[in-house]
Amino acid sequence: MELIKKNVHMNKLKCQSSLQLTLDDDFNVPDVKPDIYKIIKEQGAIKINDVKMLNGKLMVKGALSFNMLYLSDENVRPVHNMSGEVPFDEVIHLDEACAGDEAIINWELEDLTPGLINSRKINVKAIVGLTVLVEELYDEATAVSIEGDENVQFVNKNITVTDIAVDKKDTYRVKDQIHLPSNKGNISEILYSELELRNPEVRLLTDKFTVKGEILVFILYASESDDNPVEYFETELPFSTTVDCNGCTEDMVDNIEFSIASKSLEVMPDADGEERIIDVEVVLEMGIKIYEEEELELLNDIYSPVKELVPVLKDAHYEDLLVKNNSKVRVNDRLKITANQPDILQVCHAAGGIKVDDITQVDNGLEVNGVLEVQILYICADDNKPLNSVKGIIPFNQTIEAKGIKPTSIYHVKPALEQLSVMMLDSEEIEVKAGIGLNAIVFDSITEPVITDIEAYDLDYEKIQNMPSIVGYIVKNQDSLWNIAKKYYTTVDRIRELNGLEDNNIKIGDKLIIMKKVERTI
């Protein structure tokens, strides 16, 4: 007698920990740069350089890279930039059970504030949030049948589960070139740039998937033109590719997260030797999870007319995909400059980031509260102080539909800025319109008792021989042929044969003839 088992591939969160870092450092203006009159705009990103796991502690080395636009008192070109790095070395405590496992580190730059100490020195303060996840792939061994003894009777129970077919990381390198239009001057130096991934779309195929999307590129540069010492250019670079992914098929469900791992811009000369071409390289990191829904037959109950069988049970944990959708949020608001800011002549560029503050489970859904942080670079009327920026925070609230969600359900919501447009209303006010996507995936958590082993004992033949050989039975509420056959040490097929039943359907009040199968000691 042998249990036939099937492995269901599952993924679970083994450890999770969060840490907030406060970074603070001073920087001197390089000798080749002019004095700082006013800081216009800042940008920053976190680079993780080294990760080591030791005795439940995660050693993380990295740095905050920042770039800052500022105004000087120079008449020739008043706009300049300054870059730098603030290193950090932190220890994040995890459970010892996670020692030796591979960790996933997510970062969020919660705040970046450069301050002017004097015209040749700045102070950079930042708040960085680090979240560490350790996931574990495991197989939930599930008994689905039994072989080797024709007397053993068994019945199965069907449940729907979602197992993970693919769980891996991959990268894709986007390479392209930007050729400046004829109305733009040659590039002397790139002062500021933004590269953003927008609207990635995935289509699963057999053993591969396709990805298409756009890279939004904005550059502010020092021009060789005397008339326009500072110029800017913005464009979209579409891309598409096919990624090998063994084990996936068209009918599976994807949950692929994209992030920009690295990016670079390099100015190149054109055929005439003029600096008018920009080589763009962006490395996209993909966290690939692909799920497969499966109808699983669990071995639910067993017995034998010739032996006493006792199943050994344990609780098995499964997940079932409840919903996956992309909920759209429309945000519309107006931003006004303060009294001490110069008037707006023309909007140059807008960048935005989304922060989710709170996710609350509600009836048949998830309520998401967060903010859209917007920073707008604009051109001023004063040629000596041609640039300035304005910041704003726009709150949003959205309920994601998730019918059947329970307190025990597992969910993950990934926000994405899908569209951002700004329009100058007058010299003091700007209208902001944005489209936010909230990608949600929700799993129902299922716990089922499963049979892991069977203990066999000899029957109590004295008890069985004292039972009548033939019984007239009237079907009661919640009776089934299985339960009746098990009680009287016979089989479902034998009851059906004796009573001329075509199937297993019986109803209250039906009269059955039952003959026990065991008549003697074996």
List, for residues 252-311, the tens digit of each pLDDT value: 999 999 999 999 999 999 999 999 999 999 999 999 999 999 998 899 999 888 888 999
What digits encode the pLDDT tens for the residues 32-79? 999 999 999 999 999 999 998 877 788 999 999 999 999 998 878 899
Domain boundary among 447, 471, 505: 447
Closest CA to 487 of 499, 475, 497: 475
Domain boundary among 139, 165, 189: 139
Residues 393 and 439 in one domain: yes
Residues 337 and 408 in one domain: yes
Residues 171 and 92 in one domain: no
pLDDT, position 234? 96
pLDDT, position 196? 95
pLDDT, position 382? 83
pLDDT, position 99? 66
Domain-embedded: residue 40: yes
In order of 106, 193, 297, the CA distances from 19 in angstroms are 11, 29, 43
Domain-embedded: residue 304: no
Domain-embedded: residue 315: no
Total number of domains in the chain: 4
Q: Is 461 helix (H, G, I), strand (E, B) or coil?
A: helix
pLDDT, position 252? 96
Residues 464 and 487 in one domain: yes
Domain boundary among 78, 105, 139: 139
* Positions in the chain short of pLDDT 50: 520-522
Residues 128 and 161 in one domain: no
pLDDT, position 97? 61
pLDDT, position 267? 96
pLDDT, position 460? 80
What's the per-residue H, E or C state across 391-454?
EEEEEEEEEEECCCCCCCCEEEEEEEEEEEEEEECCCCEEEEEEEEEEEEEEEEEEEEEEEEEE
Whether the CB-CB separation of 21 and 44 falls below 8 Å is answered with: no
pLDDT, position 206? 97
Residues 2 and 117 in one domain: yes
Residues 62 and 6 in one domain: yes
Domain-embedded: residue 71: yes
Residues 161 and 102 in one domain: no
- Enclosing domain of residue 502: 459-515
What are the percentages of helix, strand and coil residues in the chain, rounded to 5?
5, 70, 25
Instruction: State if pTM tops 0.85.
Output: yes
Residues 135 and 29 in one domain: yes
Domain-embedded: residue 306: no
**Distance, CA of 171 to CA of 177 (rounded, Å):** 20
pLDDT, position 200? 95
Domain-embedded: residue 301: no
Residues 5 and 115 in one domain: yes
Domain-embedded: residue 89: yes
Whether the CB-CB separation of 265 and 233 falls below 8 Å is answered with: no
Domain-embedded: residue 308: no
Residues 334 and 430 in one domain: yes
Query: Residue 465 belongs to a domain with what CATH number?
Result: 3.10.350.10
Residues 327 and 369 in one domain: yes
